[in-house]
Amino acid sequence: MQWLTTTLVLERLRSADDDAWNMFVARFRQPVVRFAADLGLPPHEAEDAAQETLAEFLRTYREGRYDREKGRLHSWLFGIARRVALNRGRKLARQQQRSPAGQRTGFWDDIPDDAQLQQTWDRSWQTSILEQCLRRVRADLEPRTVEAFELVALQERPAADVADELGMSRNAVFLAKHRVLKRIRELQEEIENIV
C-alpha cells in the first residue's frame, strides 16, 4: 500500500475512497484498540470499540464537524474513543453479576480519572505511531541498516558488539542509527502534521 501523509488521506476520505479508508484504518485503528484494552475492555470489545470509533469519526468528518483549526485529529479521535470505550464499559458492567458484597466487579473498578485516560491515550497513540514508522522504515531502508538500528537503539546493545556481529564498523552502526532515526522523525511528522 502506498504511503500517504495524513493530510492526503483525510482529503481523500471526503469522497467514498476505499483506499483512503483502508489507509486511515491501518494508521489509526491500533491506538484505539490499545486504548480500549488498557481501560479493561476484553479483546473483542476493544476491537469493536475501535471499529465504532473510526466509523463515528468518518461520519462526523464527512459532516464537516472536524475542523483542523480547532484541534488536532489526535484529540478528536481521543474524544470519540473515550466516549465509545466508556459506553461499552457501562454496557459490560450492567451485564456483569454483582459480587456478594453488592459491589460491581470488572471494568468500573479500575476506571482511571480524566488525566489517566489522557495519559493512556497518549501512550497508546505514541506506541502505535512508532510501530507504523518502524514498519515503513523496514520497507524503505536496507535490512542491515534497520537491523543495526534495532540492535543498538531498541535492544540497547553496545555499538561495538553490533558492529562485530553484522560485520560493520562502529561508525557504520552509528550512521545506520542516525539514518533510521531521521527517517522515523520524517514519517512521524507526516502522520502527526495534522494529528
Q: What is the dihedral of CA 171, 172, 173, 175, to 10 degrees?
A: 90
Residue 176 has pLDDT above 70, yes or no: yes
Indicate the SS3 state at residue 100.
coil
Q: Which three cell numbers stand for residue 7?
A: 493530510
Instruction: Determine contact, residues 1/189, Cβ cutoff 8 Å.
Output: no
Instruction: Determine contact, residues 150/131, Cβ cutoff 8 Å.
Output: no
Task: Return the DSSP state at 154.
Answer: I
- Please give the pLDDT value at position 109: 53
| pTM score of the predicted model | 0.67
Q: Which CATH number fits domain 6-128: 1.10.1740.10, 1.10.3470.10, 3.40.50.720, 2.60.40.10?
A: 1.10.1740.10
- pLDDT tens for 31-65 read 999 999 988 899 999 999 999 999 999 998 888 88
Burial tier of 18 (Cβ tally within 10 Å: 0-12, 13-18, 19+): exposed
Residue 5 Cα to chain centre, angstroms: 15
- What's the mean pLDDT in 142-151? 95
> Is 141-195 CATH 1.10.10?
yes
When the pLDDT of each residue in the chain is averaged and rounded to a whole number, the result is 84
